[in-house]
Amino acid sequence: MRLIHAVAELREALSGQRETAFVPTMGNLHAGHVALAEIAARHGRPVVASIFVNPLQFGAGEDFNRYPRTLQADCAQLEAAGTDIVFAPDVHEMYPEPQTFSVEPPLAGELCGAHRPGHFQGVATVVLKLFNMVQPRYAVFGKKDYQQLFILKGLVRQFNLPIVMVEAETRRADDGLALSSRNGYLTAGERTEAPRLYRLLRAAADRIIAGERNFAGIEDHVARELTDHGWIVDYVSVRNRATLLAPGTDDERFIILVAARLGITRLIDNIEC
Ligand code: PAF
């Protein structure tokens, strides 16, 4: 496996490749990321993973500075998962000049975007840059970041990028907690509490599958249960799964999305129903 820091070297290494499979990450990898790399390897070769903690997608007061940088351990995991190239640019390589063009995605001000202004502009901008650098045929993203995946699928469609977006199911711990690099911030007590999020989502999804259509009631119930157990809730929202808009009365495919904080840790999760 090659570790590459410079765009020019990456371009040279990938010149002529037409079936590259790409996994963009911010590092601090866990089993969910490893699964993404394995899925990538089943789609195309070479497999490229990027590791870049993107300052553009962090707001003031967020965890950009304390986001764990674990390049060596990340490379070992990616190599074991069959990755051919790790692309780890530094911030000057990624942004050699101030990034004055940016991408304005639809829905960027809703759900997570309402609580993290500028976040999805930053994500879409860096992913577009990474796509141009790597020029992959396949790009693999996890469904845990469902709004991100939705926005990036729109980016690929609307800018006619010749990339197949591969969606990967959320990987969970045995107790249901979605794997996330940020789980490492949880104290032992918070880690015990954290699986409540997915338990509540599953119960809410069961109600919808059984025919319940009082979405506001479901959202309130989940939010109240979390608040009662010490969480600070950003949002709980039932949406149309295909559009991510508020569901209409005839809709049949839904997704429940949630973001809430336990102590300093902001967790997100979702369930399709
Ligand atoms: O999901 C992430 O890890 C990041 O948002 C991404 C897609 C690598 C862009 O920085």
Q: What token pair was written down for 216?
A: 């506001």
Domain presence at residue 174: no
Q: Ligand 1: does its nearest atom lie under 6 Å from the Cβ of 123?
A: yes
pLDDT score recorded for residue 169 = 98
Per-residue pLDDT tens digits for 151-180: 999 999 999 999 999 999 999 999 999 999
- Any residues with CB less than 8 A from the CB of 191 and at least 6 apart, and which? 177, 183
Domain presence at residue 175: no
pTM: 0.97
The set of long-range contacts for 75-82, using a CB threshold of 8 Å and a minimum separation of 24, is 75/1, 75/3, 77/29, 77/33, 77/34, 78/1, 78/29, 78/34, 78/37, 78/49, 79/1, 80/34, 81/34, 81/37, 81/38, 81/41, 82/37, 82/38, 82/41, 82/47
Give the whole-number percent of the chain exceeding pLDDT 70.
100
Burial class (CB in 10 A: 0-12, 13-18, 19+), 79: middle
Domain presence at residue 49: yes
56 and 8 share one domain: yes
Per-residue pLDDT tens digits for 212-247: 999 999 999 999 999 999 999 999 999 999 999 999
196 and 161 share one domain: no
β-partners of residue 164 are 138
78 and 128 share one domain: yes
Substitution site in 25, 95, 141, 163 for ligand 1 pocket (most atoms within 8 Å of beta carbon): 25
Provide the 10 A C-beta neighbour count for residue 216.
Answer: 8
138 and 211 share one domain: no
111 and 15 share one domain: yes
pLDDT, mean of residues 118-135: 98
161 and 189 share one domain: no
Domain presence at residue 173: no
CATH of the domain at 234: 3.30.1300.10
96 and 226 share one domain: no
Q: Label residue 249 by pLDDT band (50, 70, 90).
A: confident
How many domains does the structure of the chain reveal? 2
Per-residue pLDDT tens digits for 137-153: 999 999 999 999 999 99
DSSP designation for 241: T
pLDDT score recorded for residue 232 = 98
pLDDT, mean of residues 71-95: 98
CATH of the domain at 61: 3.40.50.620
60 and 115 share one domain: yes
The residue out of 168, 200, 223 marking a domain boundary is 168
Q: Label residue 15 by pLDDT band (50, 70, 90).
A: very high
Cα 133 to Cα 10: distance, rounded to the nearest angstrom? 8
Residue 198: domain span: 181-272
Q: Label residue 41 by pLDDT band (50, 70, 90).
A: very high
pLDDT score recorded for residue 102 = 85
pLDDT score recorded for residue 40 = 98
Q: Ligand 1: does its nearest atom lie under 6 Å from the Cβ of 126?
A: yes
Q: Where are the beta strands (DSSP E) in 93-158?
A: 138-142
Domain presence at residue 224: yes
190 and 82 share one domain: no
pLDDT score recorded for residue 263 = 97
151 and 17 share one domain: yes
Work out the end-to-end distance of the chain between its first and last CA atoms, rounded to an integer number of angstroms: 40
Domain presence at residue 176: no
Residue 90 pLDDT > 90: yes
- Any residues with CB less than 8 A from the CB of 186 and at least 6 apart, and which? 194, 262, 263, 265
55 and 84 share one domain: yes
* C-alpha to C-alpha distances, 151 to 67, 123, 169, nearest whole angstrom: 23, 9, 17
Residue 190 pLDDT > 90: yes
The residue out of 140, 168, 196 marking a domain boundary is 168
127 and 10 share one domain: yes
Which residue in the list 33, 43, 115, 229 is annotated as catalytic?
A: 33
Active site (annotated) includes residue 115: no
The residue out of 168, 191, 208 marking a domain boundary is 168
Q: What token pair was written down for 155?
A: 């980016």
